[in-house]
Structure 1
């Protein structure tokens, strides 16, 4: 089990650049997609970004993922859906699964409720520092012809925002990003997500 906030080494400027592109992904202009894929979570960004994407016309169908969260005593997908509906999105435009407990299961259980062979382009919504691992999970388990576009939001920890342009300037940012990189390495080795072609030199 890799800690969410492991102790970090010192990073060079080049290592920071590579970590940023791997963990946050390279920035890409969003464009209309066939489906909006909402990764599970209880952060308001999950539904706020989904509502924003829907209202911008970036997708008119949503897949919402997330099973039971015992700490919060709720089903994450149902919590997200309640906010989507409250914002005026019709339930007929929402597909969901409520069995998953992690990123891999978000994707695998979504495959049980939706046929991804029928579409070409997916906009996925998640925390920005998780985008790299979640993108690679989609790549590993969904049809190869699909194009994936990241539409993420920045999360705060104890009032500190962790974003692609500032993560390296705070201890919590360095730990969160380093932990994500280590998970990409480990889960790539296990086959849960598409592995990196090469590790960052010196790390």
Structure 2
């Protein structure tokens, strides 16, 4: 890849992170520890009071992502009543579709104007695109990202795992747009 291609991919895939108040934090489930630290930071700063964690059984561990993440957060002092779980989804689209129903049933949309999307740095664009498509214009969405797997926006192209993850996103987005699963930002 040329430096121009790397720059274009970087600018497209990695959405800037904004530490700002929101009515709800939306968390894409994962088996990784990094989001727990970020969620706790956001919660302790008073930026969110309600946290929706979305994730079913992880295909690598056989464990429920939402339940494991909630247990870890409660262990760190997050009030259990501030957590809302969606624990059936198996991919990003299901995370959003199933969580939309949970929001409608548990919270309603009346008091939700801003959602902070807590997600992996390299997943931030597709995460926001999926939410934009299915939450429509009901709310303002913004990303609070965390770095994982030993790479970041500045060095992903020289990391084997960075190239694998970022280029997979680069390839998925046009396919998912064509299927109508996501909407461009």
Q: TM-score, normalised by structure 2?
A: 0.91
Instruction: Note if contact 2:17-2:143 (Cα within 8 Å) is conserved in structure 1.
Output: yes
Runs of at least 5 residues in structure 2 that lack an aligned partner in the other structure: none
Contact between 1:189 and 1:195, CA under 8 Å: does it hold in 2?
no
Q: How does 1:132-151 map to 2 (within 5 A)?
A: 132-151=125-144
SS in structure 1 at match of 2:117? strand
Displacement after TM superposition at 1:46 (Å):
2.1
1:42 to 11, 20, 31: 31
Tell me how far 1:18 sits from its aligned partner: 2.0
Of residues 64, 67, 73, the one that matches 2:62 is 73
Report what 2:109 is aligned to: 117
RMSD: 1.6
Paired positions, count: 181
Match of 1:88 among 67, 77, 81: 77
* Runs of at least 4 residues off by over 6 Å: none
Q: Identify the structure with the greater helix proportion.
A: 2
Structure 1: where are the runs of 5+ without partners?
1-9, 197-203
Shift of 1:168: 1.6
- Structure-2 separation of matches of 1:185 and 1:162: 24
Per the alignment, residue 4 of structure 2 pairs with 14
Q: Among residues 140, 165, 189, which one is paired with 2:178 in the alignment?
A: 189
Q: Is the 8 A contact 2:14 2:125 kept in 1?
A: yes
What is aligned with 1:129?
Answer: 122
| Contact map agreement 1:184 1:195 (CA 8 A) in 2 | no
- Give a deviation string over 1:137-173, Cα, whole Å, max 9, x none: 01111031421121111111xxxx1211111222332
Q: CA-to-partner distance for each residue in 1:95-124, whole Å, 9 max, x for gaps? A: 111110000000111011113632111111
